[in-house]
Amino acid sequence: MKAGADLTIDRLLAELRALAAISEAEPPVVTRVVFAEADLRARAYVKGLCADAGLSVREDAIGNTFARWLGSEPELAPVGTGSHIDAIPNAGSYDGTVGVLGALEAIRVLQKLGFKPRRSIELVIFTAEEPTRFGIGCLGSRMMAGVLSAEQAQALLDKEGRGLDEWRGIAGFAGSLQSVRLGAGYFHQFIELHIEQGPLLESEGIDLGLVTHIAAPASLRIRIEGEGGHAGAKLMPGRRDALAAAAELILALESAAKSSGAIDTVGTVGVCQVFPGAVNSIPSRVRLETDIRDIDEMRRDGVIKALRKACEEISARRGVEVAAQQVNADPPAACDAAILAALEASAKAAGRSYKRMVSRAYHDSLFVARLAPTAMLFIPCRGGVSHRPDEYATPEWMGSGVNVLARTLATLAA
């Protein structure tokens, strides 16, 4: 596919830059939390681009957005592709957006080449892939796959105690939460283009990653209740300092992840809220959010068990209450062999190097894989950096991704 490759990348780069500028933070920092004002502007921007490309756009009850290029046999289940445009605080410009705008670019290239899909090709923008607001990742794709029920979704609250119904109402999305659920067979097949968010491809000088498995993520919320008091007057013996207990817990998670016996096990405490949060007041309450992953579910669950054991031990020794609540603990997903074979054939035809690999980040594909044969295509990102403003993918890397995605979509939709 030679024609227009450079042109498409310029257009794609311009659109990625425009989307990155729609942020709650000053560029180059991207923050775009689901249903916040910047997210709504970003959704409008991308929907406009999809409409300009002649796709028919619909949104479900929580804002999952479906932009369909109608095939000659519209009654057939579509080939799906897509990703997310929400971004965590202090993020970069490429996580998720490459899989949305890159897929749109792939569709426009196929249109330009006069390709006529037999099966429709449907671009999806998933709502709330990031856990920032409601504490759980992949909210939209989880509900589509029925992994999170309408009742469970109804019960989700953000840090201000505001729920999904309130936020989706503000965003202008209506309809029953049950209607988000898609039946198996809604998609014929699904491919997600995404940056690797790791260093392998760049360090090995390989153009593309064919993802065979998506890691198994888990998240637990931990509340620690101790006893507050005057930092000067309350002597050390008998203190029940909630933050000192939290510090031991954080180190216990780190050591459990490091001693799992495999490099694939990771454990992170990304959120630590301290109450009352005054320098001269002993912390009486701490709230931790922990993220535990592995490509092997058993090993990951072993770390969860070790963390729960540490909670009990630290609680008894320090006289603090520790309550660990599991938010999610999902099995890994295996990607579809036939789609991987199609991606491999496309990469060869495009003269691009590739390697099969696992995804250590989770993605909406983790849940779409419950609905349809699914696979992911990775492009490198500089230094493996992601979830930071200096996240970067070169035009060449993106060109390879769009090129091979377009070829594969054409193969699957023919």
291, β-bridge pairs? 219, 268
Out of Mn ion, ligand HGY, none, what residue 294 binds, judged by CB under 5 to 8 A for its kind, is none
Q: Which does 94 bind (CB under 5 to 8 A by kind): ligand HGY, Mn ion, none?
A: none
375 DSSP β-pair partners: 191
Least Å from the CB of residue 129 to ligand HGY = 6
Indicate the DSSP class of residue 138.
-
Find the shortest distance in angstroms from Cβ 270 to Mn ion: 12
Pick between residue 33 and residue 282 the one whose CB is nearest to Mn ion. 33
Query: Which residues does residue 210 pair with via DSSP β-bridges, in sequence order?
Result: 356, 377
**In whole angstroms, how close is the CB of 58 to ligand HGY at the nearest point?**
25
Q: Which of 126, 186, 362, 392 binds ligand HGY (CB under 6 A)?
A: 362
Q: Which is nearer to ligand HGY, 254 or 313 (CB)?
A: 254
* Interface with ligand HGY (CB under 6 A), residue from 143, 282, 306, 361: 361
Task: Tell me the three state secondary structure of residue 221.
Answer: strand
Q: Examine residue 130 and tell whether it contacts ligand HGY (CB under 6 A).
A: yes
Which residue number, 322 or 361, has a Cβ lying nearer to ligand HGY?
361
Q: Which is nearer to ligand HGY, 74 or 270 (CB)?
A: 270
Q: Which does 69 bind (CB under 5 to 8 A by kind): ligand HGY, Mn ion, none?
A: none
**Widest CA span of the chain, in angstroms?**
78
Taking the complex as a whole, how short is the minimal distance between the CB of residue 97 and ligand HGY, in angstroms? 12
Binding mask 82-101 for ligand HGY (x = CB under 6 A): -------------x------
Decide if residue 80 touches ligand HGY (CB under 6 A): no
Residues that bind Mn ion (CB under 5 A): 95-96
Rounded to a whole number of angstroms, the minimum distance from the CB of residue 358 to ligand HGY is 12
The DSSP letter of residue 28 is T
Phi-psi region of 48 (alpha: psi -120 to 50; beta: other; left: phi over 0): alpha
Q: With CB cut-offs between 5 and 8 Å by kind, which of ligand HGY, Mn ion, none does residue 362 bind?
A: ligand HGY
Structure tokens at 408: 């594969």
Q: Which residue is nearest to ligand HGY (CB)?
A: 361
Binding residue for ligand HGY (CB under 6 A) from 15, 129, 202, 336?
129
Site for ligand HGY in 134-163 (CB under 6 A): 137
Which listed option, Mn ion, ligand HGY, none, makes contact with residue 202 (CB within 5 to 8 Å by class)? none
Q: Which residues of 225-254 are buried (b: 16+ CB within 10 A; e: fewer)?
A: bbbbbeeeebeeeebbbbbbbbeebbebbe
> What are the φ/ψ torsions at residue 39 (nearest 5 degrees)?
-65, -40
| Closest residue by Cα to residue 372 from 411, 333, 330 | 333
**φ, ψ at 107 (rounded to 5°):** -65, -45
Does 122 bind ligand HGY (CB under 6 A)? Our answer is no
Closest distance of CB 150 from Mn ion, Å: 25
Secondary structure element (H or E) that encloses residue 125, with its range: strand 121-126
The piece of 7-15, 59-67, 129-137, 155-163 that touches ligand HGY (CB under 6 A) is: 129-137
| Cα 216 to Cα 253: distance, rounded to the nearest angstrom | 17
Here the tokens at position 262 are 């495999």
Provide φ and ψ at 75, rounded to 5°.
-80, -15
Region class of 319: left (phi > 0), else alpha (psi between -120 and 50), else beta: left
Instruction: Confirm if 192 and 405 have CB atoms less than 8 A apart.
Output: no
Residues that bind ligand HGY (CB under 6 A): 95, 129-130, 137, 361-362
